[in-house]
Chains A and B, each alone.
Chain A
Amino acid sequence: MDLLPSADQLDLARVAADFLAEELPRDRIRQRADESSSLDPHAWAGCADLGLFGLSVPEELGGAGCGVEEEALLFRELGRQVAPGPFLSTVLAAQLAVAVGDGDLVASVVAGKTAVGLAALRPGGTFNEHRVRGDLDLIDAVDAPLVLLLGPAGAALVETAQLGDVQPVPSIDPGVRLAAASGVDAPVSAWLPAAVQPLYLRGLVLTAAMLVGIAEACRDASTEYAKTREQFGRPIGVNQAVKHKCADMAVQAELGMAQVYFAAVSVASGRDDAELQARTAKVVAAHAATVNAASNVQVHGGMGYTWENDAHLFVKRVEVLENVLGGRTEHLGQIIALPAPQ
């Protein structure tokens, strides 16, 4: 048993972190705030060159043959950078395409030529292996020919063109483009049952990993500010009211990170309690990111309330990720209903 990443895994995360800091700095979100798509085509192509979309695609299909564990480390970095673009749905769509044997789609996604948006059912909507019906929120589906739906029973790909009238709606997050599709009754073009591969659980782990990245970035931003910002002639971090807030952020980040590792290994190895561990990761990481993002605004004072400071980017992305793949209340309802952890 060694729950920490190996040296190779840490190297992989470092390469991704360096690339994202260089090619997708958080300021890019502000720069592109008025563009129709959040996705920066140059950076997206760079991610493909780096092999990010094929990280867990088998080597014989042009991928790197890694697993959920390495993906979780990558998505933690994406969270830390609040990276704009449909990374989650695109990477998971590649897994779906591999599982159903759609080699063309695998190759196109790995090459960065096809992005896949995320579709979230609004209350009352349903989907199964045949059709999706109801109202949908689309997340970063502007340039995407396909959208991905994820649920406990399975994962579905649907052609965006089949969704009918898609209306852009203002998004709380300037790094995410939101659209609404109403009264959808569309065919599913590819379906992966959870019994074959639990893509939903994998999605929970990766979402939780992004939330942990945000929780860590908030801890680091607040700590740095508390060391350098001076009031009353001293750095504000000497005050326990500030220091203890930072310490609590460190606790939350560590807790979320540990649970994401545990859940990633559980899903990868098919442990009996994988569902409980994955839902727990989402709940714990979302809580960590929510409280850390709020504390980060507070520690930065007036600066934390400005558009110029990154603090609001964290707050807003957390809100999106909390609602993706089920919110806290839904997961808690399942966590209490499932058998005790193994």
Chain B
Amino acid sequence: MDLDFSADQRDFRDQVRTWLHDNKPRHERPRAAAGIREYDLAWQRTQFEGGWAGISWPTEYGGRGLSLIEQLIWFEEYGRAGLPSVDANFVGLNHAGPTLMTRARDDQKAQHLRQILAGEVVWCQGFSEPGAGSDLAALSTRAEIDGDDLVVSGQKIWTSFAHVADWQELLVRTSRTGSKHQGITWVICDMHTPGIEVRPIRTMDGEAEFCEVFYDDVRIPLANVVGEVDQGWSVAMSTLSFERGTAFTAGQVRLASTVEQLIELAKERTGPDGRRPAIADDELARRLATARAEVAALRAMTYVGISRSARTGTPGPEGSIVKLYYSEMVKHVARLAMDILGQDGLRYVSRWVPGGWSGNYLYSYSQTIGGGTSEVQRNIIGDRILGLPR
């Protein structure tokens, strides 16, 4: 039981901090999709060229080959520097990349992994469907084998950045015999293939990074299948474990910074009595103190998770506990900001702009839905950690 970082690790932290300070993006992130793509890719490219992409990715794929501890340090410093979330690069770095590393053929790894790290391509996820949300295995986008191709027809939904993506990790149904978990195939889909149509979905915060994707006899080479045909469910599950592992660390540090910003805001703004600062209000002060305590405990829980992963080598189902608590916490903090703002919260400010509390509040509703709803996380905790009957 210790919190000690070695001399090398402390040195590494200093290097990260210095590099981020000297190289972070200087201009505001654009709002339009094409601009976001270029902005996020350029920032990823800068990290890659500086030797800072893929801290815990093996060196053979262009990463640094360091441990989860260095990965944690990177995420912590990244969050502290107030840098934008990886957004358009999230699926490539945190879903598709790790899955390819563990499950893909050597030629598939060689083709894709370095491109992801180098900020050359954007990946998106083709998992959810209108009829298959929480019940992902009910997916029905079908793929027929025709010669050396899969021919795909159907629809995916809630696909972030599909309109600007180059590649997609796509789940299709290749067989209808056996249980619904059998007969699913995980395939790499080129988003520029004829027959793919992408339609952005406007969300409650007014932004449009979500899309639905339609497939009309889209031909994907069988060589793009990762793992075996019909065996894609286990490939998909390894992806989700990664998402619920350490991928939220930067977000947690950002959340802790947000709580500190709110405490400062509550000292500067007039509170609900119209005279004293907001922090003088007992209820607001206690909610801020509770938030400060809870993000501290969230960090402790992340450290426990990383310690556990370092011992076992893989992220376990405990990641669902962190995901559930973190996402609920994001909503609480966003709500608290609105209560501190009072009437000023009526003025809409995009979450991409400093002081964008109202935009952030609207966006926060997505947090307990995406990546598996809070209810699904509770099922996973009940079934896989506690062993409750289904």
Contacts and interface: CB of A to CB of B under 8 A. Distances in A.
Contacts of B286: 329, 332, 336
B1 A237 contact: no
Contact of B304 (A3, A6, A264): A3
B303 A238 contact: no
A269 interface: yes
Interface string B291-305: 011101111110110
B69 A246 contact: no
Interface stretch (A42-50, A52-60, A191-199, A249-257): A249-257
B313 interface: no
A2 B378 contact: no
B303 A3 contact: yes
A258 B301 contact: yes
Contacts of B344: none
Contacts of B390: 238
B386 A223 contact: yes
Query: Which of the listed residues A3, A69, A237, A248 has the most CB atoms from chain B within 10 Å of its own CB?
Result: A3
Interface string B349-364: 0000000000000000
A244 B378 contact: yes
Query: Which of the listed residues A246, A250, A258, A279 has the most CB atoms from chain B within 10 Å of its own CB?
Result: A258
A168 B115 CA distance: 74
A277 interface: yes
Contact of A266 (B3, B9, B311, B385): B3
Contact of B297 (A2, A3, A219, A284): A284
Given A3-B303, A259-B300, A336-B288, A284 B1 contact: no
Contacts of A227: 387-389
A243 B382 contact: yes
Interface residues of A, number: 50
Nearest to A237: B388
B252 to A, nearest CB: 12
B308 A258 contact: no
A104 B243 CA distance: 57
B386 A250 contact: yes
Contacts of A234: 389
Interface in B371-390: 375, 377-379, 381-383, 385-390
A261 interface: yes
Contact of B386 (A4, A247, A333): A247
Contacts of A254: 301, 304, 318, 321
A17 interface: no
A262 interface: yes
Query: Which of the listed residues B260, B301, B308, B387 has the most CB atoms from chain A within 10 Å of its own CB?
Result: B301
B263 interface: yes
A290 interface: no
Given A238-B390, A258-B301, A265 B2 contact: yes
Query: Which of the listed residues A1, A69, A240 has the most CB atoms from chain B within 10 Å of its own CB?
Result: A1
Contact of B300 (A3, A6, A244): A3
Contact of B3 (A240, A257, A265, A329): A265
Interface in B1-15: 1-5, 9
B86 interface: no
Interface residues of B, number: 50
Contact of B1 (A223, A261, A332, A341): A261
B12 to A, nearest CB: 12
A329 B9 CA distance: 38
B378 A240 contact: yes
A237 B286 CA distance: 35
Contacts of B279: 336
Nearest to A341: B296
Contacts of A261: 1, 300, 304
A258 B311 contact: no
Interface in A14-59: none
B307 interface: yes
A271 interface: yes
Interface string B44-55: 000000000000
Contacts of A219: 386
A276 B293 CA distance: 8
A262 B296 CA distance: 9
A259 to B, nearest CB: 4
A276 B296 contact: yes
Query: Which of the listed residues A257, A264, A279, A341 has the most CB atoms from chain B within 10 Å of its own CB?
Result: A341
Interface in B66-89: 69, 72
A144 interface: no
A183 interface: no
A237 B389 contact: yes
A8 to B, nearest CB: 11
Interface in A324-342: 329, 332-333, 335-336, 340-341
Nearest to A264: B1
Contacts of B385: 247, 250
Contacts of B375: 240, 244
Contacts of B386: 219, 223, 246-247, 250
A128 to B, nearest CB: 28
A238 B381 contact: no
B43 interface: no
B296 A259 contact: yes
Interface in A132-184: none
B382 to A, nearest CB: 4
Contacts of B297: 255-256, 258-259, 262, 280, 284
B310 A243 contact: no
Contact of A6 (B1, B296, B308, B382): B1
A88 to B, nearest CB: 20
A241 B308 CA distance: 30
A249 B307 CA distance: 22
B296 A250 contact: no
B334 interface: no
Contacts of A276: 296
10 contacts: A2-B311, A4-B308, A219-B386, A247-B377, A254-B318, A254-B321, A255-B325, A262-B297, A262-B299, A265-B1
Please list the 7 inter-chain residue pairs (A to B) with the smallest Cβ-Cβ separation, ordered nearest first: A262-B300, A258-B300, A247-B381, A336-B289, A243-B382, A247-B378, A332-B289
Given A237-B389, A258-B303, A336-B279, 4 more contacts: A4-B307, A259-B297, A336-B285, A341-B299
